[in-house]
Amino acid sequence: MKHLRLGVNIDHVATIRNARGGAHPDPLRAAKIAEAAGADGLTAHLREDRRHIGDGDMTRLMAELTIPLNFEMAATDEMLAIALAHKPHASCLVPEKREERTTEGGLDVAGGQETLRHYVESLKAADILVSLFVEADPKQLEAAARLGADIVELHVGAYCDTTDSIKRQSELVRIQRAAALAEEMGIECHAGHGLTYDTVGPIAAISQFTELNIGHFLIGEAIFVGLEKTIHEMRRRMDDARRAAA
Ligand code: PXP
């Protein structure tokens, strides 16, 4: 049974801080609590508009974290320079539109292969693992393999967000097939976006996944019961689902 890593996305601690300016609540403090609560890694997305973490957060996270940072970034020269300066454990290339509320879909690797190649190769040359955030679509996975990505992170938002049980089941099947294809192609497979206590079980049960990256739900739930407790409960649900499926 492969260990399923939990990556905690702390962006929304910074979103709350930024609503008022100032220093509170501090995403680094959240990162340290997550680390102590058993998170295997941290995720943070430095957006072009700095709506959640900022450049100073990135410096502090890199200086003080002892677990790996998965740095989410758009494929731009500005972000590439920041990644190369900090050398996080991994960089996850994501599509980014200024007007979107969150990352709405996967990266079009198949359509943008030539543009992406420079970013993938530059990151890999600096020994940063490259992850591509893609839809569970064979065409995107094949393009990711051709580019030499180390990891694909499957966007599971459509599965998580629907309230239609038939659609949820068909999305789950699509995700299962994509995860199996990634394994066949020898690419490590992660999942993220929209996962909650209610949706994590069937995703954690997919044996090919080695990491789930979860943010919004954990930070929201932490308001009521605290971050440590929330992470423990998510971890328990992930482990139970994986054990039951083994
Ligand atoms: N993985 C990626 C690549 C993302 O862009 C996000 C959202 O920023 C997440 C995981 C976490 O998604 P959520 O905040 O919905 O749990």
SS3 labels along 10-35: CHHHHHHHHHHCCCCCCHHHHHHHHH
What is the model's pLDDT at position 50?
A: 95
Mean pLDDT on 109-120:
95
Distance from C-alpha of 159 to C-alpha of 194, rounded to nearest angstrom: 9
What is the model's pLDDT at position 169?
A: 97
From the CA of 217, give the closest atom in ligand 1: 16
Query: Cα angle vertex 55, ends 6, 192, to 5°?
Result: 25
Specify the CATH number of the domain 5-245.
3.20.20.70
Mean pLDDT of the chain: 96
Ligand 1 atom 7: the closest Cα is on which residue? 193
What is the model's pLDDT at position 152?
A: 98
Count how many Cα atoms sit within 13 Å of the Cα of residue 52 in the half-sphere of its side chain. Answer: 21
- Ligand 1: residue of 103, 195, 200, 221 to mutate (most ligand atoms within 8 A of CB) is 103
Distance 94 CA to ligand 1 centre (A): 10
Distance 216 CA to ligand 1 centre (A): 7
**pLDDT tier for residue 224 given thresholds of 50, 70 and 90:** very high
Q: What does the pLDDT look like over 178-205, one tens digit per residue?
A: 999 999 999 999 999 999 999 999 999 9
Contact 70, 7 (CB under 8 A): yes
Can you give the pTM of this predicted structure?
0.97
Distance 97 CA to ligand 1 centre (A): 15
What is the model's pLDDT at position 18?
A: 97
Q: Are strands 129-134 and 90-93 parallel, antiparallel or unpaired?
A: parallel
**Ligand 1 pocket: which residues have CB below 6 Å?**
9, 11, 45, 72, 92, 94, 102-103, 133, 153, 192-195, 213-217
For the chain, the C-alpha Rg in angstroms (whole number) is 17
Per-state percent for the chain, helix, strand, coil, to nearest 5: 50, 15, 30
DSSP state of 150: S
Contact 152, 110 (CB under 8 A): no
Which residues lie closer than 8 Å to 224 by C-beta, 6 or more apart?
Answer: none
Side chain identity at residue 64, one-letter code = E
For this structure, is 72 an active site residue? Answer: yes
Distance 181 CA to ligand 1 centre (A): 22
Distance from C-alpha of 186 to C-alpha of 238, rounded to nearest angstrom: 23
What is the model's pLDDT at position 105?
A: 85
Q: Which of 35, 72, 135, 153 is catalytic?
A: 72
Ligand 1 atom 12: the closest Cα is on which residue? 193
From the CA of 157, give the closest atom in ligand 1: 15
Distance from C-alpha of 12 to C-alpha of 18, rounded to nearest angstrom: 9
Q: What does the pLDDT look like over 65-109, one tens digit per residue?
A: 999 999 999 999 999 999 999 999 999 999 987 777 776 789 999
Distance 9 CA to ligand 1 centre (A): 7
Ligand 1 atom 9: the closest Cα is on which residue? 193
Distance from C-alpha of 221 to C-alpha of 57, rounded to nearest angstrom: 23
For this structure, is 45 an active site residue? Answer: yes
SS3 of residue 227 by DSSP:
helix
What is the model's pLDDT at position 104?
A: 75
Cα distances (angstroms) measured from residue 35 to each of 8, 43, 100, 143, 226: 9, 12, 29, 34, 14
What residue ranges do the domains of the chain occupy?
5-245
